[in-house]
Chain A
Amino acid sequence: MQYNNLAQLELPTVMGHQYEEMPDDLFIPPNALEICLETFSGPLDLLLYLIKKENINILDLDVSKITDQYLEYIELMDNLKFDLAADYLVMAATLAEIKSRLMLPVESFDEEEDDPRSALIKRLQEYQRFKNVSEKVALLPRIDRDFFAASAKLPTLDDQDNKIMITKEEIYSQINEVINRPNYKANHQIDFEELSTKERIQMILDILSRTNLISFSKTLVKPEGRKGVVVTLLASLELAKDGYVELIQNKSEELFIKSSRRA
């Protein structure tokens, strides 16, 4: 079985010339980075990519540099409005922690347990194994892509899913609703409100032209109910605002409307 060995990187060739190093004048359109970033399957994948770019041994991981680059990438992804999995941010925090630990003075790094990087390196190595093997598995011949079965069998039609189970009661209630629907469409009119603030203002002024002072409750018309109270209050406030009346409360908290000089 032949398939490309992904471990071997091919040298990029432009117009017959092979490039071993990145040319200084290479133009990378901004969208190129988008496509690149979309292909990472997670923060470990991104980290491995950054390490590979630096061309260093994973065991000699320079956490400080990698952390800076990682954070740059995270920020870039954020700016490009990528939906960053929270796991990327967790990794950023992990890297930052390791970086800060490394800045503390230590006697020696001989034991693996003392190396703050060791846990991360182990994770990277473990992930790398599976990343590797999954690339190989992806290339294995797969049915309906690389090979096809031969069959004389008629395909089954998947219409079973569309059957909806319905009960007698549901049918009755649906019919009921349809029959009653015309009732909901009865016309209704919108009437003008019976009480108007303007009218009430006029009424109060009329009263006050005959007497200087009147208690609020006496201006109310009982049949009007709550609406009447509201309208009267609004009218009183309007008049008070414009200075036509004064609103006074006595000791027993009874409200009075008193005409003021402007009236």
Chain B
Amino acid sequence: MLSLFKIRVKNYSLNLQGEHELDINLINSIEALLFGAGRPIRLSEMKNILENNGIEANLSEIKKSLFSLEERYSNTAIEIQDVASGYRIQIKQEHSPCLSSLWDDKKPRISKALMETISIIAYKQPVTRGDIEDIRGVTVSTRSIRFLLERNWVKVSGYRDVPGRPALYVTTKDFLDDLNLKNISELPDLPEINETAENDIFSQAV
């Protein structure tokens, strides 16, 4: 009668088929961290917490565990997303309509003016308020900047060395997290200024 040999090598168990299996305990612990964090969490942070709780794992193993979790989730309503601030468990977008019905829309709608402001900051950072006003042709209200700061979509990264020492604004990782992005380069491409009429949006107008 054959017996299964299980050689424990760190967190791997080698069964007779020769497959490496990640320790279920490790995978579940990571799952627990992802759910419990309530925010994106980095590999390094997970490693620290696990170590503090007697679970040894290197970054590669943690990453593999995440892949394993993703497989586990493939037929469920949840998924793991890799965003700027780390990994986040979220609900697959196809279920969003149901969830919207669950809650009142708490997050306020962002106006066109505000979208233009944040876009200018995102694409031209770091910028001052004056830079934004030059492009938009309107004064940028204090309310707008405060809204973006409070929401932690922008932060002050320094000051420009000119009279008045105006603050320089940049976008934050939270901004990327909220848009499900990992990197600022993943934003849509900024169109070039066109000299020719063909590409001009207005020549296509009714």
Q: Which residues of A contact B (CB under 8 A)?
A: 7-9, 11, 20, 39, 41-45, 51-52, 55-59, 85-87, 91, 123, 125-138, 140-153
Q: How far is the CB of B201 from chain A (nearest CB, A)?
A: 6
Known: A58-B200, A147-B180, A150-B35. A9 touches B205 (CB 8 A): yes
Given A87-B138, A125-B193, A127-B137, 4 other A-B residues pairs in contact with their CB atoms under 8 A = A39-B112, A125-B194, A143-B179, A145-B100
Q: Which residues of B contact A142 (CB under 8 A)?
A: 178-180
Known contacts A148-B96, A150-B35: A57-B178 contact under CB 8 Å: no
A145 touches which of B107, B113, B116, B181 (Cβ 8 Å): B107
Which residues of B sit under 8 angstroms from A52, Cβ to Cβ? 201-202, 205
| Residue from A43, A143, A149 within 8 A of B138 (CB atoms) | A43
CB <8 Å contact, B120 and A55: no
Q: Are B119 and A130 in contact (CB under 8 A)?
A: yes
Contact A127 B138 (CB under 8 A): no
B163 at the interface (CB under 8 A from A): no
Closest to A149 in B: B90
Given A57-B202, A85-B138, A149-B38, A133 contacting B188 (CB threshold 8 A): yes
Q: Which 7 A-B pairs have the closest CB atoms?
A: A153-B38, A42-B138, A134-B119, A44-B137, A41-B113, A152-B35, A151-B38
Establish whether residues B91 and A141, one from each chain, have CB atoms under 8 Å apart when the complex forms.
Answer: no
A248 to B197 Cα, complex, angstroms: 94
Min C-beta distance of A86 to chain B, whole Å: 8
Number of interface residues of B (CB under 8 A): 56
**B138 CB → nearest A CB, Å:** 4
B93 touches A147 (CB 8 A): yes
B62-98, CB under 8 A of A: which get 1 and which 0?
Answer: 0000000000000000100000000011111100100
Distance between Cα atoms of A91 and B137 in the complex (Å): 8
Do A147 and B118 contact each other (CB < 8 Å), given the known contacts A42-B136, A58-B200?
no
How far is B189's CA from A133's CA once the two chains are assembled, in angstroms?
Answer: 8
Measured between C-beta atoms, what is the minimum distance from A158 to chain B in Å?
13
- Check: B36 CB closer than 8 A to any chain A CB: yes
Output the nearest chain B residue to A123 by Cβ-Cβ distance: B137
CA distance A42 to B117 in the complex (A): 12
Tell me whether B187 is interfacial, beta carbon within 8 Å: yes
Query: Which of A44, A137, A151 is in CB contact (< 8 Å) with B35?
Result: A151
Q: Is the CB of A148 within 8 A of B91?
A: yes
Cβ contacts B171-190/A at 8 Å (1 or 0 each)? 00000011111000001111
Q: Give the complex CA separation of A99 and B136 in angstroms.
A: 22
B residues near A134, Cβ cutoff 8 Å: 112, 115-116, 118-120
Min CB distance A262 to B, Å, is 73
Tell me the minimal C-beta distance from A30 to chain B in angstroms.
23
Is B110 interfacial (CB-CB < 8 Å)? yes
Would you call B137 and A43 a contact (CB within 8 A)? Answer: yes
Given A57-B200, A151-B35, A133 and B179 touching (CB < 8 A)? no
Check: B37 CB closer than 8 A to any chain A CB. yes
Q: Do A133 and B78 touch (CB < 8 A)? A: no
Contacts of B37 in A (CB 8 A): 151, 153
Cα-based distance from A94 to B36 in the complex (angstroms): 57
Q: Knowing A7-B201, A57-B197 touch, does A148 contact B99 (C-beta < 8 A)?
A: yes
Please indicate the chain B residues that have their CB under 8 angstroms from the CB of A151 in the complex.
Answer: 35-38, 89
Chain B residues, Cβ within 8 Å of A58: 200, 202
Please determine whether A147 and B96 come into contact, CB atoms closer than 8 angstroms: yes
